[in-house]
Structure 1
Amino acid sequence: MSDMKSKDLPPPEESLDPLPTNVTDIAHGVNMEHYRATVPLWKRVWQHSLTQMMLLSIQAFCGPAMSDAITGLGGGGLATPQVSNTTNAITYAMLAIFCFFGGPIVNKIGVKWALVIGAATFPIQGSAYYCNSKFGNQWYLIFSGAISGIGTACWYVAEAGAIMTLAPSGARGKYLALWIVSRNLGQLVGGAINLSKNHVKGADGGVTPDTYIAFVIIECIALPFALLITPFERVVRSDGTRIVTAETLSTKMELKRIAKTMTSKLVMLSALWALWSFFYGGTWSTYLGTYFSVRARALSSLISPFFCIVGCFGLGYVLDMKHLSQRRRAQLGLYTVVILNVGVYIWSIIMQTKFDRHNPGHIDWEDGLYPSSFLPYFFVQTTGPLSQSYMYWLISSFATDAQENVRNGAAFRSIEAVGQAIAYGMNTQTTSNPLVGFCVTFGLLAAALGPMIMLVNTTPDRIPADVIAEQQDAVREKIEHV
């Protein structure tokens, strides 16, 4: 009996503290009646998976969304996009490096403290853009790219692991939609700030310095919400299930797992998709900064998130359809995302070809050319996030435990950041012609499609972590009845 316990049982129930040791049942979860009777309401609310996802989403709103809103100004809102593109290239180069080692770091210090470290660095970017706009301080802007890249890498890896782990299996699409929407709501608020301070017709150059102060204030709010994150082993999902966690590994073993993760079929087949998924950012930032007036760029950052909110919840509904197998949902999601992206890039290439023949100058929202030239950007702000949301849903379909989600998320984030660094670096050289960027991005999508189809066609019908959890609880139940 003792041999059976030590070999087959999952980690002891005290890891779920403050849950009592007798609250589990054969549904690999929590006896909710006993849980409600023994745990205070405030603690149950705090430990709820949806609460934790909301805390994470608020941080995404305050951090990455504000960064996206600045990018949405075109060239960071500066008079010329080159310094902003250089800064972003440095940021994503540091992100790629530190995300590569992010899995072991996050699994060692825990998701919560990785989020805290990252959230503490969020205000650096906004302050650097303010100093550059106010005082012409370019060195600080470039230096901030390196510091922000390191801190944000910690946050991104922890975020990736959390968003793929927190959701119950039947609601992963909707949870991921909540996360994506929170980032776009942040852009919505950022866009309102941009437009309120940069709405004067005929203004040229960069946005007003005061615009960045509002961003810095919002970026500072992320830190207290990061401190409210609870460890995975204490989370209770909305369907009453627990999160499967593995025992902590040594640093040496974690480093070995990096090589195993990076050479796994999952990462190898999704690598080109990861490289492509955020590649569009640098090109579209250059496109806005080159062809649109200040107030048109501000308006674009306000209205571009609207359709994304609808699109992400629509994709979430498709990915959570219970009458289809997980593999069929994965296939349907892939073809939906690809078809929408192909349409956007064909449109953008046609539009840029026209601009190469006849430079439109700085397009204002009152110009007749504004709708047709802006709409490709409007739609890519939906198709891009759809691609990312889908990929995280797909990766989480293969995970065996929370730590593996962190490692897989770190690998994906690292490759993703390499793509962003290349994209922004490329756009420092193509200062006034985004056509190269559009064509390269379109080509990457075409190259990524074949491996992704191979990966999607091997999607398991059930999440391995759920199967393992049920087996663990079955063993526990069997022992308790002996």
Structure 2
Amino acid sequence: MAEFDAGPPNTRAAGNDDALRIKNDTNRAHTNDDGLVDMVAYQNEVPLWKRIHQHSLTQMFLMSIQAFCGPAMADAIAGLGGGGLATPQTSNIATSINYACLAITCLFGGPIVNRLGTKWALVLGAMSFPIRGASYYCNSKFGVQWFLIFGAFFTGTGSGCWYVAESGTIMSIAPSGARGKYLALWIVARNLGQLIGGAINLSKNHTAGVTGGVTPDTYIAFLIIESLAFPFAWLITPLHNVVRSDGTRVRVSEKIATKAEFKLIKTTMTSKLILLSALWAAWSFFYSGTWSTYLGTYFSTRARALSSLISPFFCIVGCFGLGFILDMKGVSQRRRAQYGLFTVIILNTGVYIWTIIMQTKFNKHSPGKIDWVDKLYPSAFLPYFFVQTTGPLSQSYMYWLLSSFATDAQANVRNGAAFRCLEAVGQAISYGMNTQIKTSPLIGFCVTFGLMAAALGPMIVLVNTTPNEIPADALDAEEHAREIDQSRKEGEKAEKEEDINYAVSRA
């Protein structure tokens, strides 16, 4: 764990591996005169199982497992192209409704999650995951389209609560010098879920010449995995109990009234941070609707199943590569933010240009349904393969950037909710737009490319204002310095009073 968590020097405001910086009064039992917690006492007095449970990496693993069971299974279904149905339109309608509900929930998610607590929001959200697999199964098995569409309202609302709690958690628990690697672990877990889902898809849909949708049994496997997120959500510990590997705790402020929380929605949505990242948020997942339609339109059932198996492989390499860039030693946080931005933009630009070239060729000469034995398969499939890496890179990068501006865990929840809301709006528009595309997804590719270009300018402005130290760390350092100074003054005052009392007694 220590090696995985190791960060660059001078990235912590205070504290070291032997001392735990503290904020909460409930943890004062181990606090020494310097306002730090003696880690030796912490290790001696707290049971091993509890220390492991409260460790930041353990909590990130638990979050990653839930991401594997929930969002990853949804991605695996989307990776079938049109949800694996015979025609992609019904799936696109349901997915568009799902993301519209998710966007509304995320808009008000900050106050809701900060009031419920991240753990209970995760539990509530995990309960909604199996509805997606069940609705696709009923549609595929019995032709019940109303369940697919009606269920989207529940999955969108429940997933919205989960996504807000997730974003606040993953941005808060990582040590400041290892955030890139932590976020890479989370993104990889999501794509490992798609890989497992792809193996299920391929095992049940590998016969040559099969047309239409995937077999109903495929969705049964998804349903079972989605149900596993619920017990793991119960294992999440409240943020104020998390102990980071660098000897710090998550900065958690006192709860404020619900009315005040709702007033902060406007403040958050109109903040410089969210306004400058709004187009990026809408773009970051916009690709999913168009590329899913591309896969469903031009590839055979078993080729689509194969795609959902092999697409995540390169993402694992890419996300950890970006993680190491964002955690580079000896480089300021602002410079790392700049490197990360241009890495993401350059890679996405290459994929978009390639895809538009392929789609232009398909508009001139329709390829029919491409199978994996066809000569055209590699050049037609690789753009989809690479966008499954470059797309997640943009999300991982943005969550890292948002956490660079955070003042406390509640701010991470609010910022994550705002970003996820705008992200969901982009997804809803993307899938809604693709319900109207009957022949060619070229328009969708061009819109996605244009949206990225429009987002670049504001993002450059935002990135160039990235603080070289996380505000939460700086605030903790200031508070600890004030506490030490106050303690020193009280000590001096006590000494003076003792001297006076002694002099009076002698007199």
Q: What's the TM-score, normalizing by structure 2? A: 0.91
Residue 233 of structure 2: aligned partner: 226
What is the alpha-carbon distance in structure 1 between the residues aligned to residue 123 and residue 471 of structure 2? 30
Residue 385 of structure 1: aligned partner: 392
Residue 30 of structure 2: aligned partner: 22
SS of 1:364's partner is coil
Contact map agreement 1:76 1:84 (CA 8 A) in 2? yes
1:455 to 459, 462, 465: 462
1:402-421 matched pairs, under 5 angstroms: 402-421=409-428
Say yes or no: does 1:189 pair with 2:201. Answer: no
What is the alpha-carbon distance in structure 1 between the residues aligned to residue 448 and residue 177 of structure 2? 33
- Residue 256 of structure 1: how far off its partner (Å): 1.0
Contact map agreement 1:269 1:452 (CA 8 A) in 2? yes
- Residue 24 of structure 1: how far off its partner (Å): 5.7
Residue 82 of structure 1: aligned partner: 89
What is the alpha-carbon distance in structure 2 between the residues aligned to residue 47 and residue 171 of structure 1? 17
SS of 1:21's partner is helix
2:75 to 68, 71, 84: 68
Moved more, 131-140 or 248-257: 248-257
- Residue 34 of structure 1: how far off its partner (Å): 1.4
Contact map agreement 1:283 1:437 (CA 8 A) in 2? yes
Offset from partner CA, 1:110-169 (integer Å, 9 cap, x none): 000000011000000000000000000000000111110000000000000011100000
1:32-431 matched pairs, under 5 angstroms: 32-431=39-438
What is the alpha-carbon distance in structure 2 between the residues aligned to residue 291 and residue 25 of structure 1? 68
What is the alpha-carbon distance in structure 2 between the residues aligned to residue 175 and residue 218 of structure 1? 23
Contact map agreement 2:22 2:248 (CA 8 A) in 1? no
- Residue 472 of structure 1: how far off its partner (Å): 1.8
- Residue 30 of structure 1: how far off its partner (Å): 3.6
**What letter matches 2:424 in structure 1?**
A
- Residue 429 of structure 1: how far off its partner (Å): 0.2
What is the alpha-carbon distance in structure 1 between the residues aligned to residue 345 and residue 441 of structure 2? 21
Alpha carbons of structure 1 residues 397 and 336: separation in structure 2 relative to 1, 3 Å: same
What is the alpha-carbon distance in structure 1 between the residues aligned to residue 129 and residue 156 of structure 2? 10
- Residue 236 of structure 1: how far off its partner (Å): 0.5
Residue 3 of structure 1: aligned partner: none
Residue 25 of structure 2: aligned partner: 13
Aligned CA RMSD, in angstroms, stands at 1.3
**What letter matches 2:306 in structure 1?**
L
**What letter matches 1:391 in structure 2?**
M
Percent same amino acid among aligned pairs? 71
Contact map agreement 1:29 1:242 (CA 8 A) in 2? no
**What letter matches 2:235 in structure 1?**
L
- Residue 405 of structure 1: how far off its partner (Å): 0.3
- Residue 380 of structure 1: how far off its partner (Å): 0.2
Contact map agreement 2:23 2:249 (CA 8 A) in 1? no
SS of 1:199's partner is coil
Alpha carbons of structure 1 residues 252 and 331: separation in structure 2 relative to 1, 3 Å: same
What is the alpha-carbon distance in structure 2 between the residues aligned to residue 126 and residue 25 of structure 1? 55
- Residue 62 of structure 1: how far off its partner (Å): 0.2
- Residue 473 of structure 1: how far off its partner (Å): 2.0
**What letter matches 1:21 in structure 2?**
A
What is the alpha-carbon distance in structure 1 between the residues aligned to residue 36 and residue 389 of structure 2? 36
Alpha carbons of structure 1 residues 171 and 243: separation in structure 2 relative to 1, 3 Å: same
**What letter matches 1:433 in structure 2?**
S
Alpha carbons of structure 1 residues 466 and 365: separation in structure 2 relative to 1, 3 Å: same
Contact map agreement 2:24 2:240 (CA 8 A) in 1? no
What is the alpha-carbon distance in structure 2 between the residues aligned to residue 411 and residue 275 of structure 1? 11
Alpha carbons of structure 1 residues 418 and 405: separation in structure 2 relative to 1, 3 Å: same
Contact map agreement 1:30 1:242 (CA 8 A) in 2? no
- Residue 478 of structure 1: how far off its partner (Å): 3.4
SS of 1:441's partner is helix
Contact map agreement 1:29 1:240 (CA 8 A) in 2? no
**What letter matches 1:297 in structure 2?**
R
1:476 to 483, 488, 495: 483
Contact map agreement 1:31 1:240 (CA 8 A) in 2? no
Contact map agreement 1:161 1:402 (CA 8 A) in 2? yes
Decide which structure has the larger Cα Rg and report it: 2
SS of 1:400's partner is coil
**What letter matches 1:472 in structure 2?**
E
SS of 1:300's partner is helix
Give unmatched runs, 5+ long, in structure 1: 1-8
- Residue 29 of structure 1: how far off its partner (Å): 5.5
- Residue 25 of structure 1: how far off its partner (Å): 7.2
Contact map agreement 1:23 1:35 (CA 8 A) in 2? no
**What letter matches 1:67 in structure 2?**
A
- Residue 51 of structure 1: how far off its partner (Å): 0.5
What is the alpha-carbon distance in structure 2 between the residues aligned to residue 30 and residue 265 of structure 1? 36
- Residue 13 of structure 1: how far off its partner (Å): 2.0
What is the alpha-carbon distance in structure 1 between the residues aligned to residue 359 and residue 89 of structure 2? 19
Residue 4 of structure 1: aligned partner: none
What is the alpha-carbon distance in structure 2 between the residues aligned to residue 409 and residue 299 of structure 1? 33
**What letter matches 1:195 in structure 2?**
L
What is the alpha-carbon distance in structure 2 between the residues aligned to residue 223 and residue 480 of structure 1? 46
What is the alpha-carbon distance in structure 1 between the residues aligned to residue 455 and residue 400 of structure 2? 17
